[in-house]
């Protein structure tokens, strides 16, 4: 006679049935619960991560240290090795990550990469995700792609959240990132135990709104960076000690996060990337495209984009965004290299 157990009887008589339940049934039960709206926690939620570069590696380490089971994928396997050493499982494809996960994060380079790792029908994460699973894309990407991913996920009985971040490598290391989330508000709340390990999540609205918020963030940073390096060039040309100048303005109205993160790094000619020029050019290009769609004229954004494009033209795309000083130095035939005496601001970070 077939075994039939109603949900009511399973609930009311669980203490009687528990000794006879197959141990192999319990992980299945936990997985079903983890993808059906229960609170996210290390016991019931398996996490996947695609992209373990400058940002992703640090972010993943926080998740592992919090006790979550983590499965990772990265095209360059060596960049995932530090996480494997911490206990992460290494998967052979985004699909393989999703097959072993309830929530899959991605943070990759370009919109084309996002489309490939999430939506490819043969190797993408969505193809391997069970109904009830969640995709969380933290790449700065196109709002329209975020909406497309959300629609594709919904068609499969899954969910998607666009959650790009700001704060760069320093924010990733210190778990102090600003996270801009778009999608179902309840789902964003449910994922907060994971988001809180990485920084502060800010709910921005429906699918795509997280990306719109991040693009507005990049527009703000772009003009701020131009102002910072122009002020430094001017101070240098005027014969000021640039280090003393940066210290002086840091507590006044001209003080900014960009100054705190990049002031001394620029003076020390430290152009190691907390955020790549190549990726910032990509971001600003998406901003300009969205401005065209909206009929917006933002001349500060356009100027900043051209200055960063000039860095790429000089082969400096793999430097950090603070390398913008090089573009202004060339434009004015000056160099701040002799002004490096330590000084204001320290650390790394970015957009």
Hey, which residues are catalytic here? 214
Strands (E) across the chain are located at: 46-50, 69-73, 89-90, 103-106, 134-137, 159-162, 165-166, 177-182, 199-205
Question: Scanning the structure block, which residue is given the tokens 């590696």?
Answer: 57
Q: In the 8-state DSSP scheme, what is residue 23? A: T
- Compute CA distances 139 → 38, 52, 189, 264, whole Å: 26, 12, 20, 28
Enclosing H/E stretch for 292: helix 277-294
* Burial of residue 87 (number of CB atoms within 10 Å: 0-12, 13-18, 19+): exposed
Residue count of the chain:
351
Q: b/e string for 134-163 if b means 16 or more Cβ within 10 A?
A: bbbbbbbbbbebbbbbbebbeeeebbbbbb
Strands (E) across 63-183 are located at: 69-73, 89-90, 103-106, 134-137, 159-162, 165-166, 177-182
* Burial of residue 123 (number of CB atoms within 10 Å: 0-12, 13-18, 19+): middle
Q: What is the DSSP pairing of strand 165-166 with strand 177-182?
A: antiparallel
User: For residues 256 and 266, what is the distance between their CA atoms, to the nearest angstrom?
Assistant: 15
Tell me the three state secondary structure of residue 150.
helix
**Are the beta carbons of 107 and 52 closer than 8 angstroms?**
no
């Amino acid at each position: 006679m077939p075994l039939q157990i109603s949900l009511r009887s399973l609930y009311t008589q669980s203490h009687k049935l528990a000794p006879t339940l197959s141990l192999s049934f319990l992980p299945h039960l936990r997985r079903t619960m983890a993808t059906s709206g229960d609170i996210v926690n290390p016991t019931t939620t398996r996490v996947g991560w695609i992209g373990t570069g400058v940002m992703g590696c640090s972010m993943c380490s926080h998740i592992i240290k919090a006790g979550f089971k983590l499965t990772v994928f990265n095209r360059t396997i060596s960049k995932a090795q530090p996480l494997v050493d911490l206990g992460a499982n290494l998967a052979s494809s985004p699909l393989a990550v999703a097959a072993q996960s309830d929530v899959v994060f991605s943070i990759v380079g370009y919109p084309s990469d996002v489309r490939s790792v999430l939506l490819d029908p043969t190797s993408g994460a969505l193809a391997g995700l069970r109904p009830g699973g969640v995709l969380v894309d933290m790449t700065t990407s196109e709002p329209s792609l975020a909406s497309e991913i959300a629609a594709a996920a919904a068609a499969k009985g899954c969910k998607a959240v666009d959650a790009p971040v700001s704060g760069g490598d320093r924010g990733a290391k210190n778990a102090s990132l600003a996270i801009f989330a778009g999608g179902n508000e309840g789902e964003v709340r449910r994922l907060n135990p994971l988001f809180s390990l990485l920084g502060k999540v800010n709910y921005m609205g429906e699918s795509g709104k997280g990306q719109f918020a991040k693009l507005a963030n990049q527009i703000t940073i772009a003009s701020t960076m131009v102002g910072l390096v122009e002020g430094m060039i001017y101070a240098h040309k005027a014969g000021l000690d640039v280090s003393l100048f940066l210290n002086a303005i840091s507590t006044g109205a001209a003080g900014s996060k960009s100054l705190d993160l990049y002031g001394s790094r620029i003076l020390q000619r430290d152009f190691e990337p907390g955020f790549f020029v190549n990726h910032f050019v990509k971001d600003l290009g998406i901003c300009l495209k969205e401005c065209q769609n909206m009929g917006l004229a933002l001349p500060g954004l356009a100027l900043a984009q051209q200055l960063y494009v000039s860095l790429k033209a000089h082969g400096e795309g793999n430097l950090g965004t603070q390398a913008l000083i090089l573009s202004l130095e060339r434009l004015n035939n000056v160099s701040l290299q002799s002004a490096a005496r330590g000084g204001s601001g320290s650390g790394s970070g970015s957009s």
